[in-house]
């Protein structure tokens, strides 16, 4: 059933003579299909088609684009169990998780369809002409967000649906009016082909221009870089390692004639502040919640809680013992692929070997079964602060406790933190007040602050921020999840003294789209009365 092609727009293309194979962490073996690596010519052709398609696609009515996104969701559902089964084989993720992730993926597409129909996301702003103004009259000025051009998407291994071929980056880029080229993730090539086929079927059904979506197979450092450096490409969405993300980001700035924005989500260890009063009330409950969060998806979440900050006292000693026991009781789980599994044990070992780190628990290394076992380590504040290596992401079911003598030490530890996607505060009102300076510091380091909860679990909604200061992302001004992800692929554009008939609908006097606009400084859906 799988053909192993590259989708150069609507064309199934296999010009090259190199192949990649999908690997099954469940079967611990390569899967049989050959996936043709895209040639340089195929990559260039995909970009050329994306450029041409963008010229048409960007100007299609919002309703047309909304229907396209919804049809992609329908076509994904049409793939049925075959999709779930293939993804299970390729990722080792359990069925229920993948069924849930598929729902999130189709939900994302529908959220953007709704956003397009509502229409106000373009941020229309109108300042009417003031012909009588002295000393000089004012022109009529109108602006809105417009799409920037073809977007390259690097899918993530850990969310084969929600952050991959038809994931958040693709959905938000298509919603913005940009064409998309996906660099297929080598860790789930079959899943990619199935989902891509759904997108292409939807594009054909909806009469989208050929090239609105393409995907290519190949190594990130070769095929991926060719895309990043191509002059036709105008933005990049990436989720993955710090090393790969930075390579893309720097190439986009230094190795192109025209630099382009790169939205790379790279590395986050998601600090959790467990403050004394709340901890003393809910010791066991908090240990249970955190053990669950640390091991969710075998620790392969961007928002996995990798650092736990505790004030050293009797309660925290009890808590640590409970957390250790709960983690030790959990079985090792199948990880996404061999690389991720071996990296996890390697990184875990490096942390364990650092000065002053004590290993409270470390499950057996079962890399030959591609399984990740749990671990819990501990370090004091001074050693944490002096050793940046302790902030390297392990990406697996392990966490490091930082024991702080008091609030002063906690504040110092937090000040030394790198940028993060999330910070979590487990605290009651008294804790919140006593530790307000620490919370302020944590706030400056993260994109989202969670009160008494766990960082894993990212809601797809309007108010989500899934982003954060470097190195969590290359661009803290953005979110990769939620409605505002669309803003990554647009730029503001201003029309001065443009006749009504040549203005986009969003900016016409009559407000035919009935959207919220800012007119002469005031928010309104009213028509302009002139």
Catalytically active residues, by annotation: 265, 302
In the bound state with a second copy, the residue whose beta carbon lies nearer, of 401 and 519, is: 519
Distance of closest approach, residue 281 Cβ to a second copy, in angstroms: 16
What burial class does residue 392 get, using C-beta atoms within 10 Å of its C-beta: 0-12 exposed, 13-18 middle, 19+ buried?
A: middle
Residue 16, Cα to own-chain centre: how many angstroms?
31
Query: Long-range contacts: 382-385, Cβ < 8 Å, 24+?
Result: 383/354, 383/355, 383/356, 383/357, 384/413, 384/416, 385/412, 385/413, 385/416
Q: Which pair of structure tokens corresponds to residue 436?
A: 């307000």
Run of H or E including 523: strand 522-524
CA distance 171 to 108: 7
In the bound state with a second copy, the residue whose beta carbon lies nearer, of 78 and 415, is: 415
Run of H or E including 320: helix 314-329
Distance of closest approach, residue 518 Cβ to a second copy, in angstroms: 6
Q: Which pair of structure tokens corresponds to residue 469?
A: 């200061």
Answer whether 347's CB lies under 8 Å from 394's CB. Answer: yes
CA distance 335 to 356: 29
Distance of closest approach, residue 309 Cβ to a second copy, in angstroms: 18
Run of H or E including 176: helix 168-176
Distance of closest approach, residue 530 Cβ to a second copy, in angstroms: 16
In the bound state with a second copy, the residue whose beta carbon lies nearer, of 36 and 125, is: 125
- Cα distances from 454 to residues 162, 326, 450, in angstroms, run 20, 16, 7
Q: Which pair of structure tokens corresponds to residue 456?
A: 């894993």
Distance of closest approach, residue 314 Cβ to a second copy, in angstroms: 27
Answer whether 181's CB lies under 8 Å from 152's CB. Answer: yes
In the bound state with a second copy, the residue whose beta carbon lies nearer, of 306 and 467, is: 467
In the bound state with a second copy, the residue whose beta carbon lies nearer, of 314 and 501, is: 501
Distance of closest approach, residue 58 Cβ to a second copy, in angstroms: 9
Rg (CA), the chain: 25
In the bound state with a second copy, the residue whose beta carbon lies nearer, of 16 and 100, is: 100
Distance of closest approach, residue 409 Cβ to a second copy, in angstroms: 20
Answer whether 140's CB lies under 8 Å from 497's CB. Answer: yes
DSSP per residue, 107-145: HHHHHHHHHHHH-GGG--EEE--BTT-SSSPBPPEEEEE
- Cα distances from 425 to residues 293, 430, 455, in angstroms, run 14, 13, 10
Contact residues for 234 (Cβ-Cβ < 8 A; gap 6+): 148, 149, 150, 151, 178, 260
**Coil, helix or strand for 25?**
coil
Distance of closest approach, residue 26 Cβ to a second copy, in angstroms: 24
Full 3-state SS string of 441-452: HHHCCEEEEEEC
Q: Tell me which DSSP letter residue 526 carries.
A: P
In the bound state with a second copy, the residue whose beta carbon lies nearer, of 389 and 520, is: 520
What is Dmax (Cα atoms) for the chain? 80
In the bound state with a second copy, the residue whose beta carbon lies nearer, of 297 and 372, is: 297
In the bound state with a second copy, the residue whose beta carbon lies nearer, of 99 and 352, is: 99
Distance of closest approach, residue 4 Cβ to a second copy, in angstroms: 35
């Amino acid at each position: 059933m799988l053909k192993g092609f590259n989708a150069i727009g609507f064309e199934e293309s296999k010009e090259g003579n190199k192949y990649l194979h999908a690997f099954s962490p469940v079967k611990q073996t390569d899967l049989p299909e050959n996936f043709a690596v895209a040639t340089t010519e195929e990559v260039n052709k995909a970009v050329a088609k994306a450029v041409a398609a963008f010229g048409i696609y960007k100007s299609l009515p919002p309703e047309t684009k909304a229907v396209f996104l919804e049809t992609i969701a329908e076509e994904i559902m049409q793939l049925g169990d075959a999709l779930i089964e293939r993804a299970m084989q390729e990722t080792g993720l359990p069925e229920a998780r993948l069924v849930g992730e598929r729902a999130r993926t189709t939900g994302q597409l529908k959220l953007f369809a709704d956003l397009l129909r509502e229409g106000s996301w373009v941020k229309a702003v109108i300042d009417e002409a003031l012909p009588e103004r002295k000393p000089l009259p004012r022109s009529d000025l109108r602006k809105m967000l417009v799409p920037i051009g073809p977007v390259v998407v690097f899918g993530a291994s850990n969310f084969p649906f929600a952050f991959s071929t038809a994931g958040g980056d693709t959905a938000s880029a298509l919603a913005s009016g940009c064409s998309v080229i996906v660099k297929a993730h080598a860790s789930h090539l079959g899943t990619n082909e199935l989902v891509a086929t759904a997108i292409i079927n939807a594009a054909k059904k909806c009469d989208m221009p050929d090239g609105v979506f393409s995907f290519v197979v190949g190594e990130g450092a070769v095929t991926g870089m060719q895309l990043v450096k191509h002059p036709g490409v105008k933005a990049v969405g990436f989720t993955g390692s710090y090393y790969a993300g930075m390579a893309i980001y720097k190439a986009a700035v230094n190795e192109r004639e025209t630099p382009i924005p790169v939205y790379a989500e790279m590395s986050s260890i998601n600090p959790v502040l467990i403050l004394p009063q709340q901890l003393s009330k809910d010791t066991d409950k908090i240990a249970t919640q955190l053990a669950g969060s640390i091991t969710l998806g075998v620790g392969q979440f961007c928002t996995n809680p990798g650092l736990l900050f505790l004030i050293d006292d009797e309660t925290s000693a009890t808590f640590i013992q409970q957390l250790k026991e709960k983690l030790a009781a959990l079985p090792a789980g199948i990880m996404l692929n061999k690389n991720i599994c071996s990296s996890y044990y390697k990184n875990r070992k490096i942390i364990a070997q650092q000065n002053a780190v004590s290993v409270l628990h470390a499950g057996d290394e079962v890399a030959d079964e591609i399984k990740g076992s749990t671990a819990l380590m501990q370090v004091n504040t001074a050693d944490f602060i002096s050793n940046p290596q302790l902030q390297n992401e392990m990406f697996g079911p392990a966490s490091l406790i930082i024991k702080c003598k008091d609030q002063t030490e906690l504040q110092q530890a937090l000040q030394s933190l790198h940028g993060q996607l999330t910070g979590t505060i487990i605290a009651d009102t008294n804790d919140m007040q006593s530790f307000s300076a620490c919370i302020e510091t944590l706030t400056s380091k993260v994109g989202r602050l969670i009160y008494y909860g766990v960082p894993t679990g990212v809601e797809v909604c309007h108010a989500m921020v899934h982003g954060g200061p470097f190195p969590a992302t290359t661009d803290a001004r953005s979110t990769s999840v939620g409605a505002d992800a669309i803003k990554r692929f647009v730029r503001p554009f201003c029309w001065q003294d443009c006749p009504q008939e040549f203005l986009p609908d969003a900016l016409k006097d009559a407000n035919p789209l009935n959207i919220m606009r800012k007119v002469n400084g005031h928010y309104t859906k009213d028509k302009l009365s002139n």
